[in-house]
Structures are given as structure tokens and as C-alpha cells.
Copies of this chain bind each other. A is one copy, B any other.
Amino acid sequence: MVENLSENNAKASQLTTDCQHPTYRNTAPNLEPILGKAFPVLDHGFVRVVDYMGDDGSIVQAARVSYGTGTRKVREDRGLIRYLLRHRHTTPFEMCEIKFHIKLPIFVARQWIRHRTANVNEHSARYSVLDQEFYVPDRAQMAIQSAQNRQGRGALISDDTAEVYRETLRNNAETAFTSYQQMIAGAEEDTEPNGLTRELARIGLPVSTYTQWYWKIDLHNLFHFLKLRLDPHAQYEIRVYAETMATIVEQWVPMAYEAFRDYSLHAATLSRMEVVALQSLLEGSPPAWESWGLSPREVREFCERFQLDPTTGRRIGEVK
């Protein structure tokens, strides 16, 4: 848990109710104890659950309205939830809703906000002065551009250079914040007030500056967010938020999360051509990648997934 929240965050925390009330609503017993608790992410960020609606039972309940008397035989909640997710019957998962309070760097917020299906209240730098908090990557994140992946990271940078870069990022951000605060405060020599309006003073701050928001989303769309942002190709700095949220969701709706993991997160999508390839390889046919319609890149990824030797089409290490 985060110990030292900034003044703003502390204030926000106080808004969360400190005592329990009775309710007739479905409650998620494992989520209740962590309501309002801030889970730290990156150097100054956090994720905390502010509110939620529904639980695994709400998914089942909604599905039963859809199927009416027709589902008498589906006795087991877990089985029904897995069936729904496996067959992409997504509407019952929309019946659960969760609201997070998140503190995150602006460049992460810019990726995050592309998910249009959530409700958002973000801290406004037009109304309020921003705290001097910005993200500096850990030494372990200081990597070169990937050679294979145009958007990813490659090998680590040497210690000395990494430290130079981190120092550069830190110094530039501190300079920007100092200027920001000075422009807002105004110059002393003038007789008239001359502090620059907040909405302009902030334009020199780096995209590593932390912002915060309330972010509310239904479970179906949250699963979609998690699938995309838990992916190894997602930028590390948003992936760590997704990982924290995934552990929270697992506490909230354990059956639905298990089903999501099995049928979506760790599922594999095979193209029409890959299905043909698999059917042939299972028959013992030699690989005919080109006539199956697979591009060289697709062959490489396909063989990696199933640990196949591209030449023989057989499992690597398999005794012939």
C-alpha cells in the first residue's frame, strides 16, 4: 500500500466512506476489504477501487433473464459463466461495473483514453495547479529500440548511458516544473498581477507528468482493455497498470476472471490458413507453408506458438 499520498490524493481518500453500511445489493466479499486502498504503480502512480456494482452472480442472473426458463438445466454458475465467455455472449458481463481512481503519467493516459467505452473524470490543469510529480523510468526499463518490433524495446542500455538518460529526463522535467511554478506565481518586478493563466503555464510540462482520474467501466469492456494492455506488445508503463487491475478483478469476479484467462487472455486465434496448416500437420503431412497461404512472418509466428521446426513441421525436440 502507498504510504505517502500527496495532499490531493489524501483528500480524495478521505472522500471514501470509512465505515460499512448494510445493503441489499450483491457484494463481492474479497473486493470489499481493498475498497479505497491505493495499490502503487510506477514511481508515483496508483490504482484504487472506488466503487463497484455486481459480482459473478450478477452475470448469471442477467444470463438467466435472457434464457428464461430455457436454462433450467444449467445449474452451475461457473459452467454458465465459462459457456458465456467461450461463446462470446458478452452482454451479461456488461451488467457488472467498476470504478477506479488512477494516478498515471500523461503519456499513459493518452493511450488509455483511446478506450472509448468508459466514463472518465480527469483532474483539470485549467482549474488546479499540478503537483510536481513526473515519471522517470527505472534503470531496468532503459532499453534500445527493438530491431524487429517498430514499436517496442530491445536490449538494455549500458549502466552509464542509462543513468545519463535518466538524469536528462529528470533534469528537464524539473526545469519545466520550476518554470511552470514561476510563471503561475508571476514575476515580482511588475506592479500588476502577472502570473500566467494555468491553462497556458502547463503547456511546457512534459508528458511524463502525472495526472489522475476516476475511470468507470463495465466488466466486458474492462476485459477488452485488459486483453489489449496485458499483451506483451503493450507499452510497459501501461501494462503494469493492467496487471494491477487484473489482480483486483480476480478478487472481484473470480469465476469470470478465470473464464477470461482461459478463453480470451491466453486464447490463440488461428487464421483460416493456420487451421488448414494444423489439420495437415496433424495428419502428418510435410509443411507446405506457401501453398497453405502463410507469409514467412506468419510461418515464424505460427512455429513459435506451437514450438515447431519450420522445416519438418514437427515439434522441436521431438524424437522422430
Contacts and interface: CB of A to CB of B under 8 A. Distances in A.
Interface string A199-226: 1101111111100111010100000000
**For the complex, would chain A's binding face be called helix, strand, loop or mixed by DSSP majority?**
mixed
Interface string A271-297: 111110011011110000000010100
Nearest to A87: B233
A299 interface: no
A150 B175 contact: no
Chain A interface size band reads 35 or more
A190 B204 contact: no
Given A110-B106, A129-B69, A306 B318 contact: no
Interface of A: 7-8, 11-12, 15-17, 19-27, 32, 35-36, 50-54, 57-58, 61-71, 79, 86, 91-92, 94-95, 97, 99, 101, 105-107, 109-110, 113-114, 116-117, 119-124, 126-129, 135, 137, 141-146, 150-155, 157-158, 161, 164-165, 168-169, 172-173, 175-176, 179, 182-184, 186-187, 190, 192-200, 202-209, 212-214, 216, 218, 235, 261-263, 265-275, 278-279, 281-284, 293, 295, 298, 305-308, 314-315, 318
15 contacts: A8-B69, A11-B64, A12-B61, A25-B35, A65-B123, A91-B120, A95-B214, A106-B106, A107-B203, A144-B196, A153-B200, A169-B203, A203-B207, A268-B270, A270-B270
